[in-house]
Chain A
Amino acid sequence: MSKDHFLEIRGLKKYFDADRPSLRFASREMRHVHAVDGVDLSLQHSEVIALVGESGCGKSTLALLLMGLEESTAGTISFEGRDITHLKEHERKGLRRKIQMVFQDPYESLNPTQNIEEIINEPLLVHGIGKNKQDRDQRVKKALEDSGLKPADVYLQRFPHELSGGQRQRVVIAAALVLEPEILLADEPVSMLDVSIRAEIINLLAELRITRKIAVIFITHDLGSVGFFADRVAVMYLGRIVEIGTMLEVLEKPQHPYTKALLSVIPVPNPRLRRERIILQGETPNPIDVPTGCRFHPRCPVAMWTCKASDPPFTTLSKTHQAACLLLVK
C-alpha cells in the first residue's frame, strides 16, 4: 500500500481493567476487558470507511482511542506521518481541530442550557479561532448552513429542545465542522433517528466529503446503511477486524462467516425477497474471556475443530479485500 497514508493504525490495543483494584487479591492476576485487541487500519484523504460490528465489538472504543479520549494499551496511531498515540493534552489541542467526532445520541450530546450559537461558537473559543466576533459569527453561520440548517439566523438563538432529532444531529455536525476538520469520526450518527431522516444525515456526510474533502470513519452496527457512500467496509468482531474490503466486495462477496451472517439478517425492504437468514445464536461473548483460536468459533455456523486451536491470519483475496478465516487459508 502507498506510503502517504494520512491516518495509519498499527496493532492498536486497548485493555480495560475488569476488576476494581481494591477487590484484587495479590494471588490473582488482574483480568482485562479486551475492548480493542490488535487493529490495523489505514485511511486516505477524503475516504469513507464504514466500521461495522455489534455492540461490544470495540468499534466505539476504537473511535475514542483515535480521538485521544482513551489512552491505548499498545500499538500506534499516526496522522500525517506523525505518531499521535501518546500525546499530552496540550500537544493534542492542535490535532483536535483536524479530527472531530459526531456522537450517536443527538439528544444527549448537546448541552440543554446552551443555545445553538453558543454550541457552535464554543469550539472556536476553545481554540482561539477567529480574529473577532464578526469573523466567528461568519464561521458559525457557514458551519450551520453547510450542515443544512438554512438560513442560519433562524436557528442561532434556539435551544436544542426546540429542534428535532435530525436538526440536532446537524447541529452536532456543525459544531465539528466549524473547526474545519480533516477527519470526521461518526459513531452511530443515525441509529437514534427515524428512517426518513437517516438518509438526510448520511447524504449530508457524503456531501461534506466532496465539498470539504473530509475523510469519514462511519461507525455503525447496520451494514445496510453503509452502501452507496462508504468506499471501504471493515467488519469488527470482539476487538478485531475480521474482514475488510471495498464496499462492493464486502456487501456482494462477503468471505468471513460473520460478515455473511450479519448481512443475511439485515431486513430487505422487499417482501418478495424473504431470504434465508443465518441467525447466530447467543450474543457476542464477553471480551474478558476471549475464546481461544478464532474468536468467532463458538458462534460460527461452519466452524471446524482446528478453529479452536489456531488464530486465523488475514487472507488476501484481492488488492483491497482481506478476511481472517481458516476456511480461506489454502
Chain B
Amino acid sequence: MNLTPIVNKTNSQVSVFWKSLRRNPMGLVGLAMLIAILAVAVFAPLIAPVHTAEITSKDIYNAPNSTHWLGTDDAGNDVLANFILGSRVSLIVGFFAAFISIVIGGLIGIIAGFYGGRVENTLMRITDIMLVIPDLPLMVVIIALTKPSLFNIIFVIGIFGWTTTARVVRSQTLAVKSRKFVLRARAIGAGNMHIIRHHILPLVLPILVVQAVLTVSSAILNESTLSFLGLGDPTAPSWGQMLNFAFSRGAMSTGAWWALVVPGFGIVWVVLGLTLFGQGLEQVLNPRLDTHHLMPGRPVVQSETAQLPSSEKILLDVRNLSINYINDDKAPARAVENVSFTLKEGELIGLVGESGCGKTTLMLALLRLLPAAGQIVNGKVFFNGKDLTALNEDEINAVRWKEISIVFQGAMNALNPVRTVGDQIAEAIIKHMPGFPHDLRLQERVVELLELVGIAADHKDHYPHQYSGGMRQRAMIAMALACNPQVIIADEPTTALDVMIQAQILELLDSLRKKLGLAIIFVTHDLGVVAEMCDHVLVMYGGVTAEYADVDTIYNEARHPYTQELLKAFPDLTKPKKKLSSIPGYPPRLDALPAGCRFAPRCPRVYARCHTEQPILYKLSDNHIASCHLLEASK
C-alpha cells in the first residue's frame, strides 16, 4: 500500500468537512442565510438608516416609500432601522440562551449516559419532568415576577431549552460508551475523566454542534414569543417586540402590514436558515444518516442474440464478465475483469479470495443488484440459456429469488426485530410469487420451509431475538429457498458463527443440495470450508481470476503463487507444528491497480515482466486455468 504521511491533521479534517458540506445544497443555503443575517446584526449601527427629521403624527404607519423603504411603525420610527437593530437583540438572546442550554444539556446527557445506574435515573427523570412542564407559561411567570431584562430573558430561555439536548447527548454517550475502544481505554488504566475527555466527548461533539444550531433557533422563537407577549426588555427592542408593538397598537386595523411582516420575516429567515443549516450539518457530521442503497445498475453493453451454452447440464455460464465502478472525478475502477466460470446442476463451487477481491461485486452483478455506480461493461451471464445481462428490469426480477437467490453476508441482522420469523418468510413468498394463495397453504409452506432448514414448526411465531445466531442464519436460508430456486449464492454465510454452528450450517447446505438438487456458489475466505464442501474453486485476486480448477487440483497442484500463498497461510489441524506464513501486504485498491499483474506487489516469485504486463489466463488442463506469467512455458 502506498503510504505517505499526512502532514496536517486538522487541515485534512476540515477539508473533508467542507467537501461533504458542499455536496449538501440545503445546508449551504442555510449557511448563506445565516451569514447574511449575522452580517446585518454585526454591522447594524453602520447600515441602519438614520432619520434625523423630527417625528410628527403624520409619520405613524406610513407605507413603504422612498424615505422609509419599509415604512414606519406606530411611533413613526423607520421599520427598516428597527429591523436591523432588532436583529442584534434577537440573535444575542438566541446564541447566549442556546449556549446555556447546550452546556446544561450536554453535561446532563454525558453524565447520565456515562455513569448510568442511579445517576442516570435521577437525571433523566428530571429531564422528563422538564419536558412535561409547559415551559412557555412558566417562562412567562418567571419573567413577570423578576424583571424583563435581557439577562433574565437569556437565562430563563437557556434553562428551559436543554431537555432535547440532554436526551440526544445521553443516547449518543450510551452508544459510544459501549464501544470497544472505551473498554480498551479502561484496560489501559484510564480513569473516568480521561475517558470522557478523550473518548466520549470527541464522538459526542458533532451531535452537540448540530443540537446547538437547532437550539439557537428555538431560543430565538422563544424570545420572540416572550417579547410578543410584552415581556421583552424595553431597552433592547427585538423583532418580537416590534411585533408586539405593531399588534397591540393597531397595525392590523390600519392595514400597516409592513410593521408585522418585516419582523416576522426576520424570525422566519433566521429559524429557517438555522434549521436548514442544522439538518445539513447533521447529515455531514452524523454518519448514521449516511446510507448506501443497493440499486439495480444498467448494463451498458447491448448483447447480441443469446447463444446456448454448449452443455445442457450447465445452469449458469459466466463469460468474460467485467464490472466497473464509475467514479465522478477519476477513471472508472475496474472492480472485476474478465471472469468466467460455469455452474452445473447440483454443483457447489467455491469463490475464494481476500476481502476486496471483487467476490461480492461479482455475485451482485449476476443478479444485477450492483450499486448505482457499478456497471457491467463486458461479458455475459447465461442462465438456462438466457443472457441475464440483456434482460430488462421486469425480466430480471423474474429470475431474482425465483431462480437464483442470495443468502447475504451478515444476513443474520437482516431480520426485522418486531415481526415473527414466520411472517417474514411468508412475506418473502408473497413478494416473489404474487399469485400465492393467502390462506392455510401459505402457512403450510412456511412450516415446510422451516422444517427443511431444521427449525421446528413451533418456532414459526417466534421473534428474531428468540432465535440464536445459528437459527437466524437457518431462517435466512429458508427465506432464500422460498421460491424453489435452482441456484443459491451463499455470501460468507458462516463467517460470524462459531465452529460448531458453522459445521451445522454447512451440513444443512450440503443436505439441501442433495435433497433439492440445488446448485450453490459459496463465497468465502475460509479455505478449509471450501476443501470440505466444494467441487470446483475459483480463486479471485484484485478482481481477476487467479486460478480456477476442481477442488483437488487447487489444493494439491495449485499453480498460481496467490493460491499457493493462501494455502500456506491457512492453519491445518492435521499439521499443528507447521508455522503459518502470511502474505505480506494487502489486496490492491481498485482505484490504484498495479500496471502489470495485480498480485505482483505481494508475489514471492515476481520478476520484471510482472510489473509491466498483465498475465493472460493459461489453460493448464481441461478444467484448470490460471493467470501467471510463469505458466507461459507450461501451457
Residues of A within 8 A of B (CB): 54-55, 67, 69, 89, 92-93, 96-97, 100-101, 103-105, 108-115, 122-123, 126-127, 153-159, 164-166, 172, 175, 179, 194-200, 202-203, 221-225, 227-228, 247-248, 251-252, 261-263, 265-274, 277, 279-281, 283
How many Å lie between the Cα of A58 and that of B435 in the bound state? 49
Asked whether B53 is an interface residue with its Cβ less than 8 Å from the other chain, the reply is: no
Q: Are B500 and A122 in contact (CB under 8 A)?
A: no
17 A-B interface contacts by CB (under 8 A): A55-B498, A69-B187, A103-B180, A113-B202, A156-B5, A157-B9, A195-B354, A198-B571, A203-B582, A224-B573, A227-B572, A227-B575, A228-B578, A265-B502, A269-B527, A269-B555, A283-B500
Say how far A285's CB is from chain B's closest CB, in angstroms. Answer: 11
Question: Which chain A residue shows the least CB distance to B584?
Answer: A200
Using Cβ atoms and an 8 Å threshold, which residues of chain A touch B584?
A: 200
**Contact segment of B478-486, B528-536, B610-618:** B528-536
Hey, what's the 0/1 contact readout for B517-558 against A, CB within 8 Å counting as 1? 000000001111111100000000000000000011001100
CB-based contact B586/A166 at 8 Å? yes
Q: Does B189 contact A (CB under 8 A)?
A: yes
How many chain B residues touch A (CB < 8 A): the figure is 69
Q: A108 to B180, alpha carbons, bound, how many Å? A: 5
Q: Which residues of B contact A (CB under 8 A)?
A: 1, 3-7, 9, 179-181, 183-191, 194, 198-199, 202-203, 354-355, 468-470, 498-504, 507, 525-532, 551-552, 555-556, 565-567, 569-584, 586
Q: Given A127-B189, A155-B3, answer yes or no on A195-B527 (Cβ-Cβ < 8 Å).
A: yes
- Complex Cα–Cα for A166 and B199 (A): 22
The reply to whether B6 and A196 contact each other, CB–CB distance below 8 Å, is no
> Which of B1, B500, B577, B586 has most chain A Cβ within 10 Å?
B500
Contacts between chains A and B (CB distance < 8 A), count: 204
**From B354, B567, B578, B582, residue with most partner A Cβ within 10 Å:** B582
Is there contact, CB below 8 Å, between A93 and B189?
yes
- State A179–B190 Cα separation when bound (angstroms): 13
Output the least CB separation between A179 and chain B (Å): 7
Q: How far is the CB of B430 from chain A (nearest CB, A)?
A: 31
Question: Chain B contacts of A156 at CB under 8 A?
Answer: 5
Tell me the minimal C-beta distance from B582 to chain A in angstroms. Answer: 4
Return the chain B residue nearest A125 by Cβ. B194
**Which A residues are CB-close (under 8 A) to B468?**
283
Q: Once the chains bind, are B575 and A195 in contact (CB under 8 Å)? A: no
Cα separation A281 to B555 with both chains bound (whole Å): 30
Q: Closest CB-CB distance, B206 to chain A, in whole Å? A: 10
A248 to B574, CA, bound (A): 11
Query: A185: nearest residue on chain B (CB-CB)?
Result: B187
The docked-state distance in angstroms from the alpha carbon of A296 to that of B199 is 42
Kindly provide the distance from the CB of B501 to the nearest chain A CB, expressed in whole angstroms: 7
Who on chain B is nearest to A53 by CB? Answer: B498
Chain B residue contacts of A221, Cβ below 8 A: 498-499
User: In angstroms, how far is the closest chain B Cβ from the Cβ of A67?
Assistant: 5
Q: Given A126-B189, A267-B526, do A111 and B202 touch, yes or no (CB 8 Å)? A: yes
Cross-chain contact B531 with A270 (CB below 8 angstroms): yes
A195 near B566 with CB under 8 A, answer yes
Shortest CB distance A129–B (Å): 11
B237 → chain A, closest Cβ, in Å? 44
Known A55-B469, A194-B355, A267-B529; 19 more pairs at CB < 8 Å: A54-B500, A55-B498, A101-B187, A109-B181, A111-B198, A126-B189, A154-B5, A175-B184, A196-B582, A203-B582, A224-B571, A227-B571, A227-B576, A228-B576, A268-B531, A271-B555, A272-B556, A274-B531, A279-B504
B533 to chain A, nearest CB (A): 8
List the B residue with the shortest CB-CB distance to A178. B188
Q: A223-B499, A269-B528, A283-B501 are in contact. Are A263 and B573 (CB under 8 A)?
A: yes
Please give, as numbers and ranges, the residues of chain A lying within 8 Å of B190 by CB-CB distance. Answer: 122, 126
Residues of B within 8 A of A55 (CB): 469, 498
